[in-house]
Amino acid sequence: MKIRGKIWKFGDNIDTDAIIPARYLNTSDPKELAKHVMEDADKDFPTKVKPGDIIIAGKNFGCGSSREHAPLAIKSAGIQAVVAKSFARIFFRNAFNIGLPIFEVKDLTDEADEGDEIEIDMDSGQIMNLTKGKKYETKPIPSFMQDLIKAGGLIEWTKKRLTMEDIK
């Protein structure tokens, strides 16, 4: 499967407070959260972003809090994927668990401009910057995490496992 979208570009160390400020965490409704996505990194972002867009960023994206509200807000805003030089550990885990596609790529962020269109081949992990005409390889996803994606997230993966145990 391939996904294609317009990119919004962010820098290094985009923390979870920038992705969804704690002042909005008195709710866990994904639609409410999406209204404030990336607000403290770019206050106009929630009004500018369109469903199908893609976020690209520098290193350590999603550092800070464990709040799952961060990938939820991104997903609920209709953002198809996040591509970064690297991800903070808990954000990385949460994204897989809730089914937000994320990819680690070294040079794409530095070589892309905001508004470029990119295409991600979800199976091969190749990313094409269509505007610049340049291809990138993403860091391979560990096989266990591929299983999680195939199952449709951690809840579905666990449900299957629990059913197997019942059968036993």
Partner 1 sequence: MGMTISEKILAEHAGKKEVSAGEIINAKVDLVLANDITAPIAIKEFEKLGVKDVFDKEKIALVPDHFTPQKDIKSAEQCKILKDFAYKYKIKNYFEIGRVGIEHALLPEQGLVLPGDLVIGADSHTCTYGALGAFATGVGSTDAAVAMATGECWFKVPETIKFIYYGKLQPWVSGKDLILYTIGDIGVDGASYMAMEFTGEVIDRMPMSGRFTMCNMAIEAGAKAGIIAPDNITEEYVKVRAKRPYKFYNSDPDAKYVQIKEYDCSKIQPMVACPHLPSNVKPAGELSHIKIDQVVIGSCTNGRLEDLREAAQILKGRKIHPEVRMIIIPATQKIYMDALKEGLIEIFIEAQAVVSPPTCGPCLGGHMGILAKGERAIATTNRNFIGRMGHPESEVYLSSPAVAAASGVLGRIGIPEELGF
Q: What is the spatial distance between Cα 37 and Cα 71, in angstroms, rounded to a whole number?
A: 9
Left (φ > 0), alpha (ψ -120 to 50) or beta: where does 75 sit?
alpha
Q: What is the spatial distance between Cα 34 and Cα 89, in angstroms, rounded to a whole number?
A: 22
Question: Minimal distance in Å, beta carbon 156 to partner 1?
Answer: 9
Q: What is the spatial distance between Cα 34 and Cα 53, in angstroms, rounded to a whole number?
A: 14
Q: Is 76 in the site for partner 1 (CB under 8 A)?
A: no
Question: Minimal distance in Å, beta carbon 93 to partner 1?
Answer: 6
Q: Is 78 in the site for partner 1 (CB under 8 A)?
A: no
Q: What is the spatial distance between Cα 102 and Cα 84, in angstroms, rounded to a whole number?
A: 8
Question: Minimal distance in Å, beta carbon 23 to partner 1?
Answer: 5
Binding residues (CB under 8 A) for partner 1: these are 13, 15, 17-18, 21-23, 25-28, 39-41, 43, 59-60, 63-69, 72, 86, 88-90, 93-94, 97-98, 142, 144, 153-155, 158-159, 162
